Homo-oligomer: A and B are copies of this chain.
Amino acid sequence: IFGHRDFDKLVPLINGKKDFGVMTGMMPSGQMHIGHKMVIDQLKWYFEKGASLSLSIADMESYAARGISFEKAKEIAINEYLANYIALGLDLTADNVNVYLQSQNKTLNDLTFKIAKRVNFNNMQAIYGFNASTNIAHLYVPLVQVADILLPQTEEFGGPKQVVVPVGVDQDPHLRLTRDIAAKLNEEYGFLAPASTYHRFLTGLTGDKMSSSKPNTAIYLNETPKQAEKKVKSSKTGGRETLDEQKELGGRPDECVIYEMLVYHLVDDDKELEKIREECKNGELMCGHCKVHAAELMKDFFEDLKVKQEESVEIAESLFD
């Protein structure tokens, strides 16, 4: 997390275990990768602090953006996303969790239509850069997402409350639009402006952004432990040109994909991380050794994940019974 809006309003709620919510969405297209785990870890943290959780499956978005049918989207959501959310430790069957498909949620769709009456084409153009050849479904979907963010504050879900939305920076336009709309609907619904936090993206294995659509940048959660291990081993590190140089100058952990993985996913113990960091920087720890260690941990992580995934698909399916 490197930025936020109104997070300070949440702090007393989090500490006081007051009623607050966390909201996130997933577009069911493609596959989940290890970078997505960061969001899930955040959700888990909020959930442990007493937040209710609202989880939107953006099947209307995946239809508008990718032409994926609602049926297909549901299938992908269950097998690729929800099963992994559960496998990664989020209890989606808990009472204060609401998982829903956009297309199936009547309250959401009614709210979207109300929102649509308060936004015009000029607004959408200014915020999203749409133009006159943008199809109407595409134009409508961001309003569904605004409704997603406000849904936890509707009467059905206990009425107005502080809600935090962990997002990537690229999603900030939605948040700003939602804050405007919340103000416009405040009188009728009592909506509060949602808070948001902005997380960084995990660096891709190649050093670029990790992306669902570029296989060599990401480790997908549906890969085998063997594949995951191999991908770690071929990742870009913060190492120097030669071993001698590395011994002399030390490695650069802050530019190292492997080190980032250790921090975010593979090592919980801060002292151990500190030790790795120091040994790297002072030239004691070489990349080869470090990679083998990380790859081993990743393999273990994936072996554990595979077992949990199998159990989780059924649980994920049961969410829609």
* CB closest residue in chain B, given A144: B113
Interface assignment of A132: CB less than 8 Å from any CB of chain B: yes
> How far, in angstroms, from A113 to B102 measured CA to CA in the complex?
12
> How far, in angstroms, from A85 to B234 measured CA to CA in the complex?
73
- In the complex, how many angstroms separate the beta carbon of A184 from the nearest chain B beta carbon? 12
Given A70-B110, A110-B103: A140 and B116 interface contact (C-beta under 8 Å): yes
Cβ–Cβ < 8 Å partners of A125 in chain B: 132
Chain copies in the assembled complex: 2
* CB closest residue in chain B, given A124: B136
> How far, in angstroms, from A132 to B103 measured CA to CA in the complex?
27
Which of these, B67, B106, B120, B143, contacts A132 with CB under 8 Å?
A: B120
B60 touches A113 (CB 8 A): yes
B110 touches A135 (CB 8 A): no
Chain B proximity mask over A122-162: 1 for CB below 8 Å, otherwise 0: 10110000111111111110010000000000000000000
Cβ–Cβ < 8 Å partners of A124 in chain B: 136
Cβ–Cβ < 8 Å partners of A143 in chain B: 136
> How far, in angstroms, from A137 to B147 measured CA to CA in the complex?
14
How many chain-A residues does the 8 Å CB contact rule pick out?
32
B109 touches A133 (CB 8 A): no
> How far, in angstroms, from A258 to B135 measured CA to CA in the complex?
49
Q: Which of A106, A130, A136 has the most CB of B within 10 A?
A: A136
CB within 8 Å of B: which of A5-33? none
B110 touches A136 (CB 8 A): no
A140 touches B113 (CB 8 A): yes
Interface assignment of A200: CB less than 8 Å from any CB of chain B: no
* CB closest residue in chain B, given A113: B137
CB within 8 Å of B: which of A69-110? 70, 103, 106, 109-110
A63 touches B122 (CB 8 A): no
B133 touches A119 (CB 8 A): no
Interface assignment of A297: CB less than 8 Å from any CB of chain B: no
A120 touches B136 (CB 8 A): yes
Given A132-B122, A136-B140: A117 and B70 interface contact (C-beta under 8 Å): no
Interface assignment of A226: CB less than 8 Å from any CB of chain B: no
B120 touches A133 (CB 8 A): yes
- In the complex, how many angstroms separate the beta carbon of A158 from the nearest chain B beta carbon? 21
A121 touches B132 (CB 8 A): yes
> How far, in angstroms, from A114 to B59 measured CA to CA in the complex?
12
A117 touches B138 (CB 8 A): yes
- In the complex, how many angstroms separate the beta carbon of A106 from the nearest chain B beta carbon? 8
* CB closest residue in chain B, given A60: B113
Cβ–Cβ < 8 Å partners of A132 in chain B: 120-122, 125
- In the complex, how many angstroms separate the beta carbon of A59 from the nearest chain B beta carbon? 10
B135 touches A118 (CB 8 A): yes
Chain A residues in the interface with B (C-beta under 8 A): 60, 63-64, 67, 70, 103, 106, 109-110, 113-114, 116-122, 124-125, 130-140, 143
